[in-house]
């Protein structure tokens, strides 16, 4: 009798564990699964475009935060939070506003309290905390810049593909869908999003303007303006796109030449910036007592502050000289 009871208990425990695991999986799949993630990303991209009706945009924001904790809804009360959300979308990451706020505050707290625990003054701890808190925005800025450069390098090929589709008799939305399907990301992702917006009922003009808002590229702006003007006045759009793609390619070639010609100057600037740092480290390794006067003696501290300020000014000045816009 006891053996039967034990077997029944094991069976019930197995059934309960199975349904518990199944319930957790269903919950996770509905919140964090591939389909839910894809849908949330599409909604965030539409929201980042900002070209929809204000009532529809408010409804969209409620949809984005309907299943989120109260912290997510509080983020929507921050002024100009749409600009930050658009910046997150442009970086190509899956971060949300709460993720960004959590990472920033956590790193700031780690830097601040970590330095305080090591006995550093409050001012130095605050500076260290601010430096740590800036790491997420620097990371996103790097991702955004790299994604934008890749988008601009792939844009001429995408315009050629759209032009060939138009010459073959396809409508503009179908041509955008072909570019979204066959081009790699981020170009394919952005054009697919534009096609989905048109397919969901947003006008082609608003969808293209949303595309230009999501991707701050001058070359893409030429494409959007050309399409909007052609829809108003008429003309051979495929030929216009072919001319735009040729202009973009020539611009990229010129930018590559300028970058190659300025490589020596950029390397010289980097050497001049790092030279005082390595020289100071070498002198400290040779004679630490002599070098320590630089931050222990009041006159040495004054010279150190002046040197840092002039180094920053020189670095910014050299960066401005070698940074040539094409």
Q: Is 269 in the same domain as 321? A: yes
153 and 254 fall within a common domain: yes
pLDDT confidence of residue 145: 92
Question: Is 178 in the same domain as 237?
Answer: yes
The model's pTM is: 0.69
How many CB atoms within 10 Å of residue 68?
15
Calculate helix-pair angle for 81-91, 34-49, nearest 10 degrees.
130
CA distance 162 to 228: 15
Report if residue 320 sits inside a domain: yes
Instruction: Tell me, yes or no, whether 252 and 267 share the same domain.
Output: no
Question: Mind listing the pLDDT tens digit for each residue in 219-264?
Answer: 899 899 999 998 888 888 889 999 999 999 998 888 888 888 878 8
Q: Are residues 211 and 238 in the same domain?
A: yes
Per-residue confidence (pLDDT) for residue 10, from 0 to 100: 56
Tell me, what's the pLDDT at 178? 92
CB 60 within 8 A of CB 197: no
- Residue 111 to residue 109: CA distance in whole angstroms: 5
Q: Identify the pLDDT of residue 7.
A: 53
Domain final residue, candidates 21, 54, 78: 78
Q: How many CB atoms neighbour CB 97 within 10 A? A: 22
Same-domain check for residues 287 and 232: no
Predicted pLDDT of residue 78: 64
Burial of 193 (0-12, 13-18, 19+ CB in 10 A): buried
**First CA to last CA across the chain, in angstroms?**
87
In a domain, residue 92? The reply is no
Question: What per-residue confidence (pLDDT) applies to 56?
Answer: 46
Residue 108 covered by a domain: no
Domain boundary, last residue among 78, 110, 132 = 78
Q: Is residue 124 part of a domain?
A: no
Helix pair angle (218-233, 135-167), 10° resolution: 40
Residue ranges for the chain with pLDDT beneath 50 = 55-56, 59-60, 62-63, 65-67
Nearest to 198 by CA among 49, 38, 37, 84: 49
If asked whether residues 267 and 250 sit together in one domain, one would say no
With respect to residue 152, please indicate whether it lies within any of the assigned structural domains.
Answer: yes
Give residue 235's domain range.
Answer: 146-259
* One domain for residues 166 and 251: yes
Q: How far is the C-alpha of 195 from the C-alpha of 12, rounded, in Å?
A: 51
In a domain, 254, yes or no: yes
Among 204, 228, 259, the domain boundary falls at 259
- If asked whether residues 269 and 248 sit together in one domain, one would say no
**199 plus 226 within the same structural domain:** yes
Residues 278 and 245 in one domain: no
Residue 128 lies in a domain: no
* Domain membership flag for residue 93: no
Read off the CATH number of the domain in which 244 is found: 1.20.81
Q: Which pLDDT score, from 0 to 100, does residue 59 have? A: 41
Residue 301 φ/ψ, nearest 5 degrees: -65, -40
Please indicate, yes or no, whether residues 204 and 155 belong to a single structural domain of this protein: yes
How far apart CA 96 and CA 81 sit, in angstroms, is 11
Number of domains in the chain: 3
């Amino acid at each position: 009798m006891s053996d039967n009871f034990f077997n029944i208990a094991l069976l019930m425990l197995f059934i309960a564990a199975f349904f518990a695991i199944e319930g957790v999986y269903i919950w996770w799949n509905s919140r964090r699964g591939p389909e839910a993630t894809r849908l949330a990303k599409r909604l965030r991209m539409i929201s980042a475009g900002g070209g929809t009706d204000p009532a529809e945009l408010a409804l969209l924001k409620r949809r984005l935060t309907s299943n989120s904790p109260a912290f997510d809804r509080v983020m929507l009360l921050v002024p100009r939070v749409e600009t930050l959300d658009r910046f997150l979308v442009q970086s190509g990451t899956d971060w949300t506003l709460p993720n960004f706020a959590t990472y920033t505050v956590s790193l700031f707290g780690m830097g601040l309290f970590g330095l305080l625990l090591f006995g550093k003054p409050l001012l130095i701890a605050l500076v260290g905390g601010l430096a740590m808190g800036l790491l997420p925005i620097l990371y996103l800025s790097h991702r955004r810049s790299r994604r934008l450069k890749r988008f601009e390098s792939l844009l001429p090929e995408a315009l050629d593909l759209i032009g060939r589709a138009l010459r073959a008799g396809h409508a503009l939305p179908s041509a955008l869908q072909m570019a979204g399907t066959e081009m790699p990301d981020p170009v394919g992702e952005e054009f697919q999003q534009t096609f989905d917006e048109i397919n969901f009922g947003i006008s082609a003009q608003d969808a293209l303007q949303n595309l230009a808002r999501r991707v701050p590229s001058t070359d893409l702006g030429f494409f959007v303006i050309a399409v909007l003007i052609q829809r108003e006045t008429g003309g051979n759009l495929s030929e216009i796109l072919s001319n735009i793609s040729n202009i973009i390619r020539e611009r990229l070639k010129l930018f590559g030449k300028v970058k190659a010609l300025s490589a020596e100057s950029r390397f010289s600037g980097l050497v001049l910036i790092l030279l005082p740092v390595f020289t100071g480290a070498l002198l400290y390794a040779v004679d630490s007592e002599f070098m320590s006067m630089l931050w222990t003696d009041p006159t040495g501290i004054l010279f150190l502050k002046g040197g840092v300020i002039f180094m920053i000014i020189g670095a910014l000045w050299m960066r401005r000289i070698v940074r040539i816009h094409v």
